[in-house]
Amino acid sequence: MLLSSIPASQEQRDSMPSLAILDDDHILRLMRYAIEGDGAVSEQWAQGFFLPEDADLARVRALGDGLHPSDGVTLLPLGADVRTSGDLDVLIFRRGTIDAALMDAHPKLKLIQRIGARADAIDLAAAKARNIAVSCVPRPSLQLTAEHAILLMLALGKRLLTGDALTRAGAYDASRVHPDHGVAYNWTRQAPLAGLYGKTVGIVGLGEVGVMAARMAQGFSARVVYCNRTRLSPEKERALGVEYRALDALLAESDFVSLHASNLPDNKGMIDAKFFAQMKRTAYFVNTSRGRMVDQQALADALTRGTIAGAGIDVFFEEPLKLPSPLTALPNIILTPHIAGGSRTGIIDEVGAVLANCRAVLTGGELKHRVA
């Protein structure tokens, strides 16, 4: 449905719906492409974003139906100062803070739309007082990333890949295997074998994915400790069932260490030889976050020397992983090709959920994932 299909006067244009996307990353750029087509974000970039998967860009652009410039909707240019850019109807963001002052800068604001399920960065009381709707759309790709971290932990503890290979090869010592009524436990004689039950999982970086991973680990009866740039309040720690530790203490007591920290410049190479040296020799390291935070040579050395028991790695310092790599020859590491978040095309549905809410608030439809 077109919000406007008739040429408008200046006064009418001033009253037309307007949106702002406040920050910038790949999902937000794809959202700009869905709204503007080959505008500030080129079709070439959009096509390249999905490679090597194939994506129907017409489907992506259709997500913005009713919100295109031809529909009479204005999208604030990338990099514009949102506090001095006129009166907006919708604010879309992923990272940052939405405070009362920003709301007051836009008296006709109807919707604050966050990409992600957490509402911490939004002053919900101020939004309620100003009758501004707030929606936080969950991202399935983040859920999948947390699942993958747990998958790697379980696969490492259960020695899954080794068990598969030995079973396929029929590799066992027949003199030590005596089936009882056709049952032979652990006939490939793998040890140690463990799951998450009763173990301690250390989460480095308790953001959205870190919280999801913590809850999943607790579902397996694991104890969860965390470290973060900013410690949570005691109330939030109790609600999440997590315990705070300084990094060195977390490494010393965790059976699994899972990295979920932000990919900030200061974090480049933060996972180094000193980090691994502080872990238990029986512990496993898992990374589904970003590869540039890990010194890969230090990781290879730690695995080779037995400084740590093993690792599960989905992301690398440079992708695709350059071969030959010291990591690929090691038996105590599981490597996956940056697939934790699911297929690239899955992000199309996340964009669609956000833009459907924007349409709804402008046309009187029903908002999904409303928190205020």
Contact 221/196 with Cβ under 8 angstroms? yes
Task: Determine whether 281 is exposed, middle or buried from the number of CB atoms within 10 Å of its CB (0-12, 13-18, 19+).
Answer: exposed
Q: What is the token pair recorded at 263?
A: 């990919």
Contact 313/290 with Cβ under 8 angstroms? no
Please pick, among 245, 290, 292, 359, the residue that the annotation labels catalytic: 290
Question: In DSSP terms, which residues pair with 370 in a beta bridge?
Answer: 135
Integer Rg of the chain from CA = 25
Contact 243/140 with Cβ under 8 angstroms? no
Hey, how many other C-beta atoms are within 10 angstroms of the C-beta on 311?
Answer: 25
The C-alpha atoms of residue 310 and residue 318 are separated, in whole angstroms, by 21
Please pick, among 130, 215, 231, 338, the residue that the annotation labels catalytic: 338
The C-alpha atoms of residue 174 and residue 24 are separated, in whole angstroms, by 60
Active-site annotation holds for 338: yes
The C-alpha atoms of residue 241 and residue 235 are separated, in whole angstroms, by 10
Contact 64/107 with Cβ under 8 angstroms? no
Question: In DSSP terms, which residues pair with 203 in a beta bridge?
Answer: 226, 258
In terms of DSSP H, where are the helices of 118-265? 124-129, 140-157, 160-169, 208-219, 234-240, 247-253
If you ran DSSP here, which 8-state letter would residue 294 be given?
Answer: B
> Which of these, 303, 341, 369, 372, lies nearest to 117 by C-alpha position?
369
Please pick, among 26, 281, 319, 370, the residue that the annotation labels catalytic: 319
Active-site annotation holds for 29: no
Hey, how many other C-beta atoms are within 10 angstroms of the C-beta on 181?
Answer: 5
> Which of these, 152, 120, 145, 154, lies nearest to 134 by C-alpha position?
120
Active-site annotation holds for 319: yes
Question: Which residues carry out catalysis?
Answer: 290, 319, 338
